[in-house]
């Protein structure tokens, strides 16, 4: 058929979204603004249309007759792109600014959870340095978690193992303004122990539809050591939340948070990504995001067999209950290994020529999703960011999926390439019989 869709963003998540939308039998054209060097293979990239340029993006949609816009990253959502498109009568998948506060303000999310009994870490919120400092001086149990209220590209969270560390982190956030305005308000919360899982729903504010479960690997080094990154790899499904646990998450967390948003008068049309800790006492919310996860998207969307355009368009237009059934999901697991630039998440060099991506994609079940890549004038590809690629593979079991993903990464070369060696290790341990 003849539908046109615009995806906003330039990472591996947007590549995975574009690839899944391009598979829809209804979709004729996928545009991606601005896109990257690899997204070109499945979409028409618009490198001059930047994510923050709401007016030009909406004008493009009007001029081209685009039927649906899908917003990838959080920054434009928190900035109000959803409101801008809705005011112009355009179908947009992504919440309004009010809804995006779920991610944009930790204090807002914590208050909403407290009011509606959604299980999460106990917390205290501070807008004044002196009061926060006094609170830390009284604390007796470590670690505690300090969070800047606003969005800080995943870096505004510090796990503090001693009073000294907590006071240093507080000083950085509130006095040195390391995260700018995001740190004007902070949250101090209880440290949760357990295994993390990522749960995504698609909603129109009334009905919800759950995507396959996933688990991310946030730390830079094997064994979850070293500083946090945007995510170094992922797998789907996450065995830790299958079965009865998933039903409990739906009942105790997802349904109440949708009710809570409605209660606030927010009609939420978009994705909600619940970052959970599965503790001994049950699942608890670590954070909510107002968008799909990255690299979770690169392992969830390859498993989606249904028509993603249909799902996102019905959610964006408030008709999700019209869908007769949820998306068909490939039972095979998917494992995604991120290849990053040497030095990431600290400083790194960009502009390194890349080789071997086509050979890697010849392997069965493998897709190479591009994040920080750029097409050079001579037609080759170069690195252009910290996370460069996410190499994803489907397999009959976790072992096969993981072997395929790692075999594919070994065919790809660029100077300084770094990856973790233990992606999906935990899933293998849990499903030794598969
Ligand atoms: P956030 O940006 O809130 O997801 O935090 C980033 C990461 O910090 C999470 O994925 C967890 O690994 C960790 N984290 C955040 N809050 C807590 C908490 N209360 N207890 C334990 N770990 C946490
Ligand atoms: N993978 C975690 C995130 O997207 O925030």
Query: Any alpha helices (H) in 159-237, and if so which ranges?
Result: 163-170
Helix, strand, or coil (residue 167):
helix
Residue 299 has pLDDT above 60, yes or no: yes
The predicted pLDDT at position 377 comes to 92
Sequence-ordered list of residues with C-beta below 8 angstroms from that of 111, at least 6 positions apart, any chain = none
Residue 36 CA, ligand 2 centroid: distance in Å: 19
Span 30-65, pLDDT tens digits:
999 999 999 999 999 999 999 999 999 999 999 999
* Pocket perturbation via mutation, ligand 2, pick of 273, 371, 420 by most ligand atoms within 8 A of CB: 273
pLDDT-based confidence at residue 433 (cuts at 50, 70, 90) = very low
Other CB atoms within 10 A of residue 322 CB: 11
The predicted pLDDT at position 361 comes to 97
- Quick one: average pLDDT of 65-75? 98
Q: Six-digit token pair at 318? A: 């408030």
Query: Any alpha helices (H) in 264-415, and if so which ranges?
Result: 297-300, 308-316, 357-362, 398-409
DSSP string, 391-416: EEEE-SSHHHHHHHHHHHHTT-B-TT
Of all atoms in ligand 2, which is nearest to the CA of residue 293?
A: 4
**Closest Cα to atom 3, ligand 2: which residue?**
293
- Quick one: average pLDDT of 252-274? 97
What is the number of helices (H) and of strands (E) in the chain? 15, 23
Residue 159 has pLDDT above 80, yes or no: yes
- Quick one: average pLDDT of 86-105? 97
Place of tokens 């995806």: 7
How far is 290 from 246, CA to CA, in rounded Å?
20
Residue 416 CA, ligand 1 centroid: distance in Å: 29
Query: Can you give the pTM of this predicted structure?
Result: 0.95
- Quick one: average pLDDT of 409-433? 89
The predicted pLDDT at position 431 comes to 61
**Closest Cα to atom 5, ligand 2: which residue?**
293
How far is 268 from 202, CA to CA, in rounded Å?
10
> Average pLDDT over the chain, rounded to whole?
95
**Closest Cα to atom 4, ligand 2: which residue?**
293
Span 309-347, pLDDT tens digits:
999 999 999 999 999 787 899 999 999 999 999 999 999
For the chain, which domains are there?
A: 3-96 (3.40.50.20), 122-190 (3.30.1490.20), 194-322 (3.30.470.20), 334-427 (3.90.600.10)
The predicted pLDDT at position 206 comes to 95
Residue 155 has pLDDT above 80, yes or no: no
Asked if residue 364 lies in contact with residue 404, where contact means CB atoms within 8 angstroms, the answer is yes
Residue 294 CA, ligand 2 centroid: distance in Å: 5
Contact residues of ligand 1, CB 6 A cut-off: 121, 145, 154, 157, 189-192, 196, 218, 228, 275, 286-287
Residue 395 CA, ligand 2 centroid: distance in Å: 23
* Pocket perturbation via mutation, ligand 2, pick of 154, 292, 298 by most ligand atoms within 8 A of CB: 154
Integer CA distances (angstroms), 30 to 72, 95, 385, 414, in order:
14, 21, 23, 29
Asked if residue 405 lies in contact with residue 422, where contact means CB atoms within 8 angstroms, the answer is no
302 lines ligand 2 (CB under 6 A): no
How far is 406 from 106, CA to CA, in rounded Å?
36
The predicted pLDDT at position 326 comes to 79
Q: Six-digit token pair at 151? A: 């969005």
How far is 5 from 208, CA to CA, in rounded Å?
22
Asked if residue 26 lies in contact with residue 13, where contact means CB atoms within 8 angstroms, the answer is no
The predicted pLDDT at position 154 comes to 66
Span 385-419, pLDDT tens digits:
999 999 999 999 999 999 999 999 999 999 999 99
**Closest Cα to atom 6, ligand 1: which residue?**
157
Place of tokens 């959604």: 118
Helix, strand, or coil (residue 210):
strand
Residue 27 has pLDDT above 70, yes or no: yes
């Amino acid at each position: 058929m003849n539908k046109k869709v615009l995806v906003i963003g330039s990472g591996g998540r947007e590549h995975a979204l574009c690839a899944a939308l391009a598979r829809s039998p209804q979709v004729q054209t996928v545009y991606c603004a601005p896109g990257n060097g690899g997204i070109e293979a499945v979409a028409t990239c618009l490198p001059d249309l930047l994510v923050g340029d709401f007016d030009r993006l909406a004008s493009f949609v009007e001029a081209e007759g685009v039927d649906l816009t899908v917003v990838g990253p959080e920054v434009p959502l928190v900035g109000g792109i959803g409101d801008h498109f809705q005011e112009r009568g355009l179908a947009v998948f992504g919440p309004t600014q009010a809804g995006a506060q779920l991610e944009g303000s930790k204090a807002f999310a914590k208050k909403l959870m407290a009011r509606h009994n959604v299980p999460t870490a106990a917390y205290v919120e501070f807008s004044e340095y002196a009061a926060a400092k006094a609170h830390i001086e009284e604390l007796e149990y470590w670690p505690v978690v300090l969070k800047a209220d606003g969005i800080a590209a995943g870096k505004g969270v510090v796990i503090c193992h001693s009073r000294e560390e907590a006071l240093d982190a507080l000083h950085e956030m509130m006095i040195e303004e390391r995260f700018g305005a995001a740190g004007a308000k902070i949250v101090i919360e209880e440290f949760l122990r357990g295994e993390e899982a990522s749960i995504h729903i698609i909603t129109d504010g009334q009905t919800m539809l759950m995507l396959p479960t996933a688990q991310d690997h946030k730390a830079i080094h094997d064994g979850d050591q070293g500083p946090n990154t945007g995510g170094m790899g992922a797998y789907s499904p996450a065995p830790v939340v299958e079965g009865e646990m998933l039903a409990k998450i739906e009942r105790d967390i997802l349904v109440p948070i949708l009710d809570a948003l409605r209660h606030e008068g927010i009609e939420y049309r978009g994705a909600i990504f619940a970052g959970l800790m599965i503790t001994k006492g049950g699942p608890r919310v670590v954070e909510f995001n107002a968008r799909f996860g990255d690299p979770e998207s690169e392992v969830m969307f390859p498993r989606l067999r249904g028509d993603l355009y249909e799902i996102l368009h019905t959610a964006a237009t408030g008709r999700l209950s019209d869908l007769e059934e949820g998306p068909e999901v490939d039972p095979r697991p998917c494992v995604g290994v991120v290849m990053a630039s040497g030095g990431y998440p600290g400083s790194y060099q960009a502009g390194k020529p890349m080789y071997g991506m086509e050979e890697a994609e010849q392997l069965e079940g493998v897709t190479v999703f591009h994040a920080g890549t750029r097409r050079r004038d001579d037609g080759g590809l170069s690195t252009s960011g910290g996370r460069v690629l996410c190499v994803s593979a489907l397999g009959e079991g976790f072992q096969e999926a993981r072997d395929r993903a790692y075999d594919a990464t070994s065919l790809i070369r660029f100077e300084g390439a770094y990856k973790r060696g233990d992606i999906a290790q935990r899933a293998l341990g849990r499903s030794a019989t598969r």
